Amino acid sequence: RIRPSTGSGRTVERLPSASDREIHNEREGAQRGEAAPPEPVEGRANVLVCLQAIQTILTAAQEAHPRECCGILLGDDRAITHAIPTANVHPEPRRHFEIDPRALIDAHKAERAGGAQVLGYYHSHPGGNAEPSATDRAQAAHDGKLWAIVAPTQGGCEVRFFRDGEERFEALSYAVLPR
């Protein structure tokens, strides 16, 4: 069941079903200075994400715990269609993440060959919040890519999406598509 959380994401008590289709607008993170609030898009979500991608992110976080999981977000101009788990090659995977460079190169090669676009990245904060950490902010490329961050909550896991802007992360609202 997906239910709105007090943060800028969704608390997931179980993997969402195909009937779980809702828009979730977020603003609290910006009030704490972590991310700019999402701009309303005529009642629509800033990001559309397929259910399969959300399920992959949640499963990767659960399987990696207590280490950080990480991966690549793929899709097109309309939506995130896939989340591809990658190895976390950081020497301290309980506190940091580093996407396997080979997986990133392969994803970019596939995109150039006509495959899905590399829209961004995801990772987990097993002992933290679903928002960019100080390390995330310091190491961000400021390239406009999407970031999904998942963290545990009392009721399950919270997933939040951000855009890595030129100066800071921008919190984004999102809607889950059934496929």
Does residue 68 have an active-site annotation?
yes
Q: Which residue has the higher pLDDT, 156 or 71?
A: 71
Structure token digits, residue 147:
């970031």
Quick check: bond before 66 cis, omega within 30? Answer: yes
pLDDT at 179 over 60: yes
For residue 13, pLDDT over 70 is answered with no
pLDDT for 132 beyond 70: yes
More confident residue, 95 or 155: 95
22, 28, 63, 68: the active-site residue = 68
Above pLDDT 90, what percent of the chain?
A: 69
- The predicted model scores a pTM of 0.78
Q: Is the model more confident about 74 or about 34?
A: 74
> What is d(CA 126, CA 9) in angstroms, rounded to the nearest whole number?
15
Task: Give the C-alpha separation, 29 to 21, whole Å.
Answer: 23
- Average of per-residue pLDDT across 106-119: 98
